[in-house]
Structure 1
């Protein structure tokens, strides 16, 4: 990863430095994992489940997305998703639309930065 790509990721709330340290300074491994993130289906599953009113399925997808995001240091996305996870954990759909908007914004921004690698 070049310095410009790293800065773009950091601007999107990605903890590049901390995640690379957790991966024992294996930058190549981190880059490979990041490149695979857009293929993960949890965001699409979350979006579809919410659109169809399947709160329990939306919770599971949001929880998975939160875990994947956390493991990759996608902190802005993980933090936005954490709010949605807690709403859905309680079975609450009130406020889920607003929380999903925040998740979608963070997701799109993160994926765009990853695709620029």
Structure 2
């Protein structure tokens, strides 16, 4: 799979991500391939399971930044929605929003593994 094909599979801002990586496709690919190894999603999952609102906010906010830098728009948006819910005290929304975030994360990891 190429970056262009990734754009057709995911909501991926290829142009924006390449700009943030100085136009280097090789560098962007290297960082994209690191996403599945990153511990942020696992820490977020643990925080959700434990009901740790501070950990949920921190993990979702960190993942939002990672996703934004990599151009993974669907994952960024899902992370942002979870951050907003926690900050807004909408604790009843954490589980369904985390499920959407998890789906976006799994899709990103699945497609990135094919790069």
Do they superpose with TM above 0.5? Answer: yes
Q: d(CA) in 2 for partners of 1:105 and 1:7?
A: 21
Name structure 2 gaps, 5 residues minimum: none
Runs of 4+ with >6 A deviation: none
**1:41 and 2:33 matched:** no
Aligned positions, number: 114
Q: d(CA) in 2 for partners of 1:68 and 1:88?
A: 19
Q: 1:65: Cα distance to partner? A: 0.4
* Partner residue in 1 for 2:3: 6
Q: TM-score, normalised by structure 2?
A: 0.92
How is 1:74-89 mapped onto 2 (pairs within 5 angstroms)? 74-89=72-87
Q: 1:20: Cα distance to partner? A: 0.8
Contact kept? 2:20, 2:69, Cα under 8 Å? no
* Partner residue in 2 for 1:17: 15
CA RMSD of aligned residues (A): 1.2
Q: TM-score, normalised by structure 1?
A: 0.90
Q: d(CA) in 2 for partners of 1:41 and 1:88?
A: 21
Q: d(CA) in 2 for partners of 1:28 and 1:112?
A: 19
